[in-house]
Amino acid sequence: MNDPDVLIVGGGIGGLGAAYALARRGLAVRLLERSPAFGEVGAGIQLAPNCTRILADYGLLDEARGRGVAPDAMIMRDAVDGAELTRLDLRDLERRYGFPYLVIHRSDLHAMLLRACERAGVELLTAREAVGYANTGDGARVTLADGRVERARVVIAADGLHSVARRLLVDDRPVSSAYVAYRGTTPASTGRAAGVDLSEVTVYVGPRCHFVHYGLRGGELLNQVAVFESPKALAGEDDWGTPDELDAAFADTCAFVRDGLSDMWRDRWWRMYDRDPIMSWVDGDIALLGDAAHPPLQYIAQGAIMAIEDGWVLGEHVARHRSGDGSVDWRAVFAAYDAVRPEHCRRVLTTSRAWGELWHLDGRPRLRRNVLLRERDTYDYSFVDWLYGPTALDPSDEPPMFTPVPLSSASGALGS
């Protein structure tokens, strides 16, 4: 095989998105996936307008609409008493940003990107586990577990939370949040699910726990997620996040939330990690992408979206830095990528951590949070304008962050 222009390591949503973004620019792209077959594990994923805008550019938005659900509203409720706290009108949000808010099964999104890569001529190889990365002077190489070596002009490492390539830039480790997620899908036409309004994405926020539900596959499935802080994790035990902890964590929540626990898959759970932000993702002709660069906690539902944005930004800068003979100034491409993406993703990572803390408050802080959320105007977009607008290609395009509202400002409403 001839060496490709681009070698991408990792066949998840981020790797496939980047492969398509670069192949559509006419580049020869080879993608290496460590598993014996392509696939995605999990259930639902939320796609905000900053992602559906890119899917529209790729010509994939109609397919995503057909495979997902476009809900009418996103609602936050208190998990203890079930009361509504605040909401986003997602139809108005679509008018504001020009693109819809969708929810879709992760495997459907993954399969959609895989098919797009196949149509674009990406060379897709499985059972290739990368164990080493190095710059070569005229490109980069990847060493595989079986000893083979792959070379390309540039390497994009989309090798996930436990990235090998990240070690080129920083000696760090994933950070445990001590929270764990249980997931489950159930037919929407039967049992408890039949009474759930699938036109809504709803999150119940509670003391050290939260519960999310929304529809999938055109309303055929109800997707539910239960997340909680594990006492065993806090105690330093290895066996944490177990089903007994799940039930105990939600014991004081409202009946609707407790009843949903029976639909969770109890034979598997997802421990929640992120990493501290790093402000450079490029080492010579090797660049990080997706969770290898910026694994977040999931509270603002931007993990896969950031990865898709990463690939789109690379593709746009390839177009900007391509000569008439078709050659690409990769140093300029990577410099532009490294100038804009790390700061945006730093904001997402730190905001995700803060948002998770806000969701999981107890006692008087919980009451103050609830007061502030109830006072929010449904059509106030000041907290999402920085996130849902067009993806920045230059640091000057990055919109300003929102101004945080301190919990203490609700004291008067509580009589103290």
Q: Please identify every residue annotated as catalytic.
A: 214
CA distance 266 to 394: 45
By CB atoms closer than 10 A (0-12, 13-18, 19+), residue 10 is buried
Query: Which residues on adjacent β-strands are paired with residue 73?
Result: 89, 200
Containing H/E element for 381? none
In the numeric block, the tokens 């994790």 are attached to 233
Q: In the chain, helix, strand, coil percent, each to 5?
A: 40, 25, 40
* Exposed e or buried b per residue across 326-343, where buried means at least 16 C-beta atoms within 10 angstroms of its C-beta: eebebeebbebbbbbbbe
Under DSSP, the state recorded for 396 is G
CA distance 108 to 91: 23
CA distance 410 to 252: 24
CA distance 217 to 123: 29
CA distance 362 to 358: 9
Under DSSP, the state recorded for 28 is -
Nearest to 312 by CA among 15, 7, 121, 54: 54
